[in-house]
Amino acid sequence: MEIKVIKDVLEANNYIACKVKEEIAKRQAMMINIIGSPGAGKTSFIVKTIQYLDIKSVVIEGDVTSDIDSRKVAEFGIPVVQVNTGGGCHLNANIIDLALQELSSSAENAIIFVENVGNLICPASFDIGEDFKVAVSSLPEGHDKPYKYPAVFEKARATVLNKIDLKRHVEFDRDSFYEGVKTLNPDGYIFEVSSLLGDGIKEWIQWLKQQFMRKLNH
């Protein structure tokens, strides 16, 4: 009984996700679904990326409650919409559909960064109409995250290892992390960055621009 309902919810979600994908294609935009634990540094990563990026960008901030992250983004003059799930542990396509209407023409010819609710589990199961997912994990969380929360790392086109500025202060087995990600996702890309200092952001940006150009040329 329970399983049947979950299936219906997923089906309804996927239907709206298709609608969102069409809308994004029509707008000549690309949407990235950014997933990570609470405190992985998703917001700082998004802001640092947009600061280095010479492509128009907008942000959809997902949270259970509060507008802390969207205020942080707005401080940098970046167009942003906050969406709150009111207790829900992931974003769904419906809320993104509404956010796109709100963003209107600012989300045309642009990269749309969606920061999902801080959670390594549930967001992996819900397509929100994105072009691809990016997993954000941070050094202080430990190298075992791909083994313990495989779904996100398996589905992400790129994994970002954030907060590498802390490498001398926390224990982290880099080889084990890479092996975990690569076993789940042999074709996935891994970028090591410090959103605080900007280390590694340029390599990530270069790859991101390629993804955008490739989409527009198809």
List interacting residues with a second copy (CB under 8 A): 1-2, 5, 9, 37-39, 63-66, 68-69, 87, 89, 117-122, 125, 138, 140-142, 144-145, 147-151, 163, 166, 169-170
Taking the complex as a whole, how short is the minimal distance between the CB of residue 158 and a second copy, in angstroms? 19
Q: Please state, in angstroms and rounded to a whole number, the distance separating the CA atoms of residues 24 and 20.
A: 6
Decide whether 1 or 54 has the Cβ nearer to a second copy: 1
Taking the complex as a whole, how short is the minimal distance between the CB of residue 30 and a second copy, in angstroms? 27
Taking the complex as a whole, how short is the minimal distance between the CB of residue 2 and a second copy, in angstroms? 6
Decide whether 72 or 209 has the Cβ nearer to a second copy: 72
H/E stretch holding 61 = strand 57-63
Taking the complex as a whole, how short is the minimal distance between the CB of residue 177 and a second copy, in angstroms? 12
For residue 105, give the DSSP letter.
Answer: G
Decide whether 27 or 42 has the Cβ nearer to a second copy: 42
Per the structure block, which two tokens stand in for 206?
């270069």
Decide whether 63 or 131 has the Cβ nearer to a second copy: 63
Of 116, 118, 115, 114, the C-alpha closest to 141 is 118
- Please report where in the chains the tokens 């009111």 appear, as a residue: 86
On whether the CB atoms of residues 2 and 81 are closer than 8 A, the answer is: no
On whether the CB atoms of residues 13 and 94 are closer than 8 A, the answer is: yes
